[in-house]
Structure 1
């Protein structure tokens, strides 16, 4: 005799993690949230702060929308989702202003603009509104981690080339506990201004996207060779 749990599809946690971090990455695959990505990644520290704020909103929005998904009618789901996201962003904005004030001053307007991040609304519509609470929260976490990873990589790349440092002022912006992140990689470096200006952000993003495509191509080719070898052995 079958039960309800037998008919429910099992959550593929590994696939959710892989999609969020790499395969369906907000920036690498979907090319979303480019405005805050390019605006705040002058340093890896700024990228980390923005990424953590966005991750908090994505996890909380996924959890809440999954909780209310059966209570919201299709006709009003988008306004309700935007309202939930706006409330969460406001809470994150106030919390950062209270406890991470220096970082809040640097990120400025881009924290409230998390509301307009298409990736958050997109995951709410495509995943959280159709899946259980646990899976939706985990999807938000992995999408946020993937986005944070992209911000930190791009910010670090630009900071190293532009200033010769990595995670500069992390202790001032994120608290003394983060002082271990601060590194001077090129002492007495005179700097390269283009790298930390908006044009440098576009150039750095182009190189990173090209690197991601190259890695994906190599992985696909290795998988084809592996599959061909397995078929040859089977025959």
Structure 2
């Protein structure tokens, strides 16, 4: 049931986007998207973990007994998250402090286990790793866009905190969108995350309906991607 790489890219970034369609990984989506840098950093780390966990599970899937499949998959994911956590602690310490508990919580992120179970457990290693990467990048883009919306509305800036990832010299890349802006607190609080995510989901659905209308397809609402999950 191996998919083409083009299909994997389309599914990960658009058709089955974890943040907008499957609505998985809502904990980091709502919690860390107070800025572009925070959202994209955690999303990128999640993408790397997903690619590595899919690539690690696929070669061993035939030798894992069905009864212990889920615990073994979680163990693999936890080991890879620990490597990422320690690497970020060593090389991006300031960013590690800001993201805090949400780095180890990648282990419990539904989308990571969902892709291991739904794709890596049934496909070859290379497509599995690529699927994990694309699904993770799809989530990272949603986190970055949502973080950008909340940061602009809440603080009037873009890329604030980029020096945490790229060093003090990167402070020059911070963009002040609205000078002398006093901020809009709701945008950086959890309710702002819900409103921003709702806006993104509505925008995606609208674009999809327009695309289908142009193609002359009947407007059939898509079934939830995880409706057949365990």
The TM-score, its normalising length taken from structure 2, stands at: 0.90
Q: How much has 1:180 moved relative to structure 2? A: 6.2
Q: Secondary structure at the match of 2:20?
A: coil
Superposition map of 1:155-174 within 5 A: 155-174=147-166
Question: TM-score, normalised on structure 1?
Answer: 0.88
Query: Which of 138, 144, 157 does residue 130 from structure 2 map onto?
Result: 138
Asked if the contact 1:26/1:143 (under 8 Å) is kept, the reply is yes
C-alpha distance in 2 between matches for 1:89 and 1:169: 23
2:62 equivalent in structure 1 = 70
Deviation of 1:75 after TM superposition, in Å, equals 1.6
How many angstroms apart in 1 are the aligned matches of 2:63 and 2:84? 25
Runs of 5+ in structure 1 lacking a partner?
Answer: 1-8, 226-235
Work out whether 1:86 is the aligned partner of 2:78. Answer: yes
Higher helix share: 1
Aligned counterpart, 2:142: 150
2:179 equivalent to 1:187:
yes
1:230 alignment partner in structure 2: none
Which residue of 1 is the match for residue 167 of structure 2?
Answer: 175
Q: Give the Cα separation in 1 of the matches to 2:115 and 2:2.
A: 19
Q: For residues 202-213 of structure 1, what are the structure 2 equivalents within 5 Å?
A: 202-213=194-205
C-alpha separation in 1, matches of 2:40 and 2:159: 9
Task: Give the whole-Å Cα distance in 2 for the aligned partners of 1:84 and 1:152.
Answer: 27
Deviation at 1:174, TM superposition (A): 3.7
5+ long unaligned stretches in structure 2: 218-230
Bigger Rg, which one? 1
Counterpart among 30, 38, 49 of residue 30 in structure 2: 38
Q: SS state of the match for residue 82, structure 2?
A: helix
Question: Take 2:47 and 2:55, find their aligned partners in 1: how far apart are those partners?
Answer: 12
Contact kept? 2:157, 2:176, Cα under 8 Å: yes
Q: What is the rounded CA distance, in whole Å, between the counterparts of 2:76 and 2:99 in structure 1?
A: 22
Mark the CA change 1:40 to 1:18 in structure 2 (over 3 Å): closer, same or farther: same
Q: How many pairs were matched up?
A: 217
Verify: 1:56 aligned to 2:52, yes or no.
Answer: no
Instruction: Say which SS state the counterpart of residue 28 (structure 1) adopts.
Output: coil
Distance 1:178 1:139, change over 3 A: farther
State which of 4, 9, 12 in structure 2 corresponds to 1:20. Answer: 12
Matched, 1:120 2:112: yes
CA contact 1:167–1:181 (8 Å) conserved in 2: yes
* Cα distance change on mapping 1:138 and 1:209 into 2, 3 Å: same
Does the 8 Å CA contact 2:18/2:135 hold for their aligned counterparts?
A: yes
